[in-house]
Structure 1
Amino acid sequence: MGNWISQKIKGLETFAFKRRGKNIANRSDPNHPENCSPDQSITTTNVEQIPTSQSVLLPTTTNSSVTNPTVEATKSQIEELAAPKIKVTMTSSNKCSDLYLACRNNKITEVENLLEKIERQDIDRVEPNGSTALHAASYHGHVEIVKLLLEAGADRTIQNKYNNLPFDEAKNDEIKKLFFRIPTSSRLVSDTGAVEWQLIDDDDILDKAAEERKIIKSLYSTNSIAKMFERIEKNYISKSLVHFNRIEQIKRFFRRAIEEENPLWIIKAYTAETDFYKVFNKELAGGGNKCLSERRYIIALLSHHPKLDEFSFIGMSYRTMQMTDDDLRKYQVGCSLMTKSFLSSSIEEKLAVLFLYQQELARKESGENDRLKSDGKKIKQWVMCTYQIKHRRTALYIENTSQYAMEGEILIMPYTVFRVKKMESVKRPELSDEDFPTIELEECDQYLDI
């Protein structure tokens, strides 16, 4: 079984490696920062990284579209998404840093020593040539250096002059695989959906969603941007979430969010592989009163801040879940459900399948066996959920802002209502010869009139 899954993963990983393959030609450019001597650079000081409006190659599927405040277009009409506008720390010197040079030249011991000494923000320094230490190590194929930088929390979302992420600059697939999320992560794979949504078979859910959205919109309208950022960091991040892993990385992202009043830093924090997104979503779903306002501020900023308008997404996204037969029977055509937390999905169905297989293989390798019923069938089965997103700012296409760009993430907002449009079991050759249940969900319209 494990070998069969491994073969499936290999094919799907090849797809994941190549889907952002627009950047291959840049490697041969004689003016590429990593092809030039480090001292052949132009000094740049304190600029805002604002790339051209078309910078990220869209995936290869054909049934999604992306919107911005003035244009709605299908992926057959446009090939690229606007890259995130994030202020980056650029040097005022024309000399590359010791860390960058050590990473570029694969000096492992020197990099280890420097990472113990330098300030955290210096790891992400954009050099005079427009590159970072992580770009350099990735481009030149220095596996151990890339590992060290990622373990140190290097920002994976900084772009070079070609609007390429370090993942895009990777010399080979071995390097690209280092940028994958750990296979046991439940970020894009879930168990029953209990945390993510509330399943109700009547119209009460529409009223509840409308009421919650009205509260969120009112908070955004009546509080200053600066106040919301400050209270999130002071009352929630620094006081309530002090004991989970990599909290310092999350604090750093929120400090930058305050400095720039830019919600993109919240997305960076949310997509990092820490306990933050897990704890935050569980608290959202649970509805506790502690830090309720601060959690609502986060929703308000991600739902309404104009800097995220360009990431608004309309189209199809995908996510897999494990369900028992009893769980699955609760989903009937025509019933409604409301997201109780942020919901991560992928723009690519093949990527959703890849995450499923990665988790299955990790489980097999740990020695965990399938739980079986008396008739020999599995107690839980995999289910594919497809989400038809119809309204702007219901979801954000955050691939180029996520710490894990290869996931092609579509982030669906809390208090979004979907109706079960169709349920069927289909054979998927990329999965197995067994029938694979699929739940088709379509966003409702009525709850938006507030």
Structure 2
Amino acid sequence: MDHIHDGNVCHCQSANPSVVETMDELDFTRGIWISAVNGLLDEVTQMLAEGTDPNATDSFGYTALHYAARNGHYAVCELLLQRGANPDIKTKSGGITSLHRACYQGHLKIVQILLEYKADPLASDSDGKIPLHKAAENGQVEIVKLLIDQEGKAVSVADNKGRLPLDCVSSNHPELRELLQSRR
């Protein structure tokens, strides 16, 4: 493996090439994102106090809020939002927001706080899916109700394939199908 040291190439070998980390991986493990993934409120608080941007993105365009929302870490989400995290930042790949992630995973309290901080319930990802599609896909009844109450016209939003949120509901969730049909 070649390394560059002071402008010169070194031809040293790693003892175990499978444990070599890329610069992106090193940045991730040293950044706010790993603390957010793991719900480490004290570490996130410290990093923000030291000047870390709450909207800093990793190499894939994910923010700490994306990671905390997906993993159900309410206190971390609340802190990030209080410190200016933008809930509508979209990832580079997929164009998803923190609200998409929380809706799909079924984290109702996080969906509520994201909406309180003005997350856009009509933000679409690269497939044209809005958070309601994601909640419907994964059978998140309470979140579907909340999203419809927040933005009633969401039930009529079609994704890039022309599918409405109703079309994303599996047959295992007849009550969800009924709810979405009744709101159209």
Q: Taking CA–CA contacts closer than 8 Å with sequence separation of 6 or more, which of the two structures ends up with the larger relative contact order?
A: 1
Could you tell me the TM-score, scaled by structure 1's length?
0.20
Relative to its length, the structure with more helix (as a share) is 2
Give the structure with the higher percent strand.
1
Q: Which structure has the bigger radius of gyration? A: 1
